[in-house]
């Protein structure tokens, strides 16, 4: 049996023929086998003609019963840097198609470009406390994947419509409006699981194949305009300055078949996580009922993610015969309260009357002493809550109680040593106290841990401004714009820095690397 026959048999799912041959040379190492048979040559062809696949922890898999050939191909693809997932348990899931024109590198480039475009236009909520909470939920779900070849970025969007979207390359956005109508962390996790599935199944990339003749910059502009256009046509028009007029909403709408596929994978992610998988069907059902009753009008999520009673019923059918999970400690309400304290959207009216939301309202309205009383009581009831400690310390800062606030932040840092939001606040306090060198030392330590966080570069701009070091102030200001998504302004400032001189060799090299980057 020739290697070409093996390849053809594998791609046509005639695995038994492949295994007959493979078993004859089963004692060879995978890499030797790849070299001797020429199978490595076919790996790229196979990869481009088949869907990326996935297998979740603990999942029985019909493919794994054919283990010899699967493991060989799996490892070869991994060695060649081409494999982007783990094998799927569900044989019904789709193929990407033989004409796939955008590989993983281009997928990530497109997603990053879209994310930066949304940041540049001010649509991304960049508060580190809120961002960390959302990212942690996403990372918890992703731990169910045996192999990951994407770095996922979960972010909140300043939009009151009820929606979430999966951009290429692992960039998953959640509108503030969706947070407003979800009651539990499980419900939000169910949405994220579904969006992760869309990314893993490359649904966005399948739809973008038909737009493969569009250049990358134009495609990014088109997608960004579509995502914000329904609520703000003027903003969409501004984003489309270099894009293609008349682009179709269908470029990001998922088909009903896509939705069923993403539900299947999303449910498996939830089953393997700490979250309640019932939340997926429950949340869809609640939203559908509220829309039908006229309580919520024009749910954007249903336009991009078609929902039907049959789809909800199929999700429930996949939840039969499973073990019930123990309820988990959740501070989701605290997260929601703080989100809408920082971003009080028009049209979002919460019926929540929690003590935390009341305290935050007092802080917003300058009633700091009343707020302080509520925060103190809340920290006694939940002493490990980062939300309560952070809000209390922030309220103290507003009262001018800087030393008391610093003490609270330091206590919180013992519980959450990697929390960026606390570190940034401590840097700000050191600057207020004119301890510029200590502020610089702490900021540089934060930067080593979080090299892409714009908040740190913003702090460094203030520090070097206070130290009257104009060259380094400009250096970090350019980096701030770079990581905030405004790459063109950053490039202009980097070029100015190089032309005026004054940078040391290492920083000059960093600037040149940024200018050489796409």
Domain positions in the chain: 3-79, 104-317, 352-406
Structure tokens of 230?
Answer: 């329904």
Residue 47 burial by Cβ neighbours in a 10 Å radius (0-12, 13-18, 19+) = buried
Contact 352, 336 (CB under 8 A): yes
- Please enumerate in sequence order all residues whose Cβ is within 8 A of that of 347, keeping only pairs 6 or more positions apart, or say none: 160
Q: Is 209 helix (H, G, I), strand (E, B) or coil?
A: helix
The CATH T-level fold of domain 352-406 is 1.25.40
**Which among 88, 55, 58 is positioned nearest to 323, based on CA atoms?**
58
Please identify every stretch of the chain with a pLDDT value under 70, giving residue numbers as ranges: 1-102, 203-256, 295-308, 321-327, 347-352, 518
Residue written as tokens 């700490």? 274
Tallying the residues shown for the chain, one arrives at 518
Q: What pLDDT score was predicted for residue 105?
A: 78
Residues 497-509 have pLDDT tens digits of 999 989 999 999 9
What are residue 175's DSSP bridge partners?
157
Cα separation, 384 vs 387, in Å, equals: 9
Q: What pLDDT score was predicted for residue 297?
A: 62
Residue 471 burial by Cβ neighbours in a 10 Å radius (0-12, 13-18, 19+) = middle
Cα separation, 502 vs 183, in Å, equals: 54
Angle at 506 between CA 505 and CA 507, to 5 degrees: 95
Cα separation, 403 vs 325, in Å, equals: 44
Residues 297-316 have pLDDT tens digits of 666 666 656 666 777 888 88
Contact 239, 228 (CB under 8 A): yes
Contact 266, 194 (CB under 8 A): yes
Q: What pLDDT score was predicted for residue 46?
A: 30
pTM (2 d.p.):
0.72
Concatenating the DSSP letter of every residue in 379-430 gives HHHSTT-HHHHHHHHHHHHHTT-HHHHHHHHHHHHHH-TT-HHHHHHHHHHH
Q: Quote helix, strand, coil % in the chain, to nearest 5.
A: 65, 5, 30
Cα separation, 458 vs 431, in Å, equals: 13
Q: What pLDDT score was predicted for residue 352?
A: 63
Max CA separation in the chain (angstroms): 82
Residue 125 burial by Cβ neighbours in a 10 Å radius (0-12, 13-18, 19+) = buried
Contact 103, 148 (CB under 8 A): no
């Amino acid at each position: 049996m020739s290697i070409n026959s093996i390849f053809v048999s594998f791609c046509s799912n005639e695995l038994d023929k492949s295994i007959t041959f493979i078993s004859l040379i089963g004692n060879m190492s995978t890499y030797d086998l790849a070299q001797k048979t020429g199978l490595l040559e076919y790996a790229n062809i196979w990869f481009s003609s088949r869907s990326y696949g996935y297998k979740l922890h603990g999942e029985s898999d019909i493919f794994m019963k054919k283990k010899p050939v699967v493991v060989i191909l799996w490892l070869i693809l991994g060695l060649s840097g081409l494999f982007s997932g783990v094998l799927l348990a569900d044989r019904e899931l789709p193929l990407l198609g033989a004409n796939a024109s955008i590989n993983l590198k281009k997928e990530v480039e497109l997603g990053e470009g879209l994310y930066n475009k949304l940041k540049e236009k001010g649509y991304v909520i960049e508060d580190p406390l809120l961002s960390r909470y959302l990212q942690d939920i996403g990372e918890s779900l992703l731990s169910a994947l045996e192999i990951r070849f994407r770095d996922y970025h979960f972010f909140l969007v300043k939009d009151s419509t009820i929606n979430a979207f999966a951009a290429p390359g692992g960039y998953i956005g959640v509108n503030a409006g969706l947070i407003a109508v979800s009651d539990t962390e499980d419900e939000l996790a169910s949405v994220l699981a579904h969006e992760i599935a869309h990314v893993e199944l490359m649904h966005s990339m399948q739809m973008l194949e038909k737009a493969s003749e569009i250049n990358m910059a134009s495609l990014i502009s088109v997608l960004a305009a579509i995502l914000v256009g329904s609520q703000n046509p003027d903003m969409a028009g501004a984003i489309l300055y270099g894009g293609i007029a008349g682009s179709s909403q269908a470029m990001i709408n998922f088909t009903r078949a896509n939705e069923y596929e993403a539900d299947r994978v999303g449910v498996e992610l939830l089953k393997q996580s700490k979250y309640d998988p019932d939340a997926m069907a429950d949340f869809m059902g609640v939203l559908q009922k509220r829309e039908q009753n006229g309580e919520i009008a024009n749910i954007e999520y249903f336009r991009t993610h078609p929902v039907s009673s049959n789809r909800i019923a199929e999700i429930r059918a996949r939840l039969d015969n499973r073990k019930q999970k123990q309820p988990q400690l959740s501070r989701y309400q605290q997260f929601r309260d703080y989100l809408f304290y920082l971003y009080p959207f028009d049209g979002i009216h919460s019926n929540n009357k929690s003590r935390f939301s009341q305290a935050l309202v007092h802080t917003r309205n300058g009633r700091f002493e009343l707020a302080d009383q509520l925060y103190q009581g809340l920290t006694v009831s939940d002493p490990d809550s980062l939300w309560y400690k952070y809000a209390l310390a922030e309220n103290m800062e507003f009262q001018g109680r800087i030393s008391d606030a610093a003490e609270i932040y330091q206590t919180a840092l013992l519980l959450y040593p990697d929390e960026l939001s606390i570190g940034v606040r401590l840097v700000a306090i050191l600057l207020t106290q004119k301890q510029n060198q200590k502020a610089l030392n702490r900021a540089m330590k934060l930067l080593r841990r979080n090299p892409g966080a714009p908040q740190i570069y913003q702090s460094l701009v203030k520090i070097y401004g206070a130290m009257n070091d104009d060259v380094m102030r400009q250096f970090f200001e350019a980096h701030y714009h770079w990581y905030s998504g405004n790459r063109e302004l950053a490039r202009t400032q980097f070029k100015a820095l190089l032309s005026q001189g004054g940078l040391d060799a290492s920083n000059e090299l960093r600037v040149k690397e940024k200018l050489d980057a796409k």
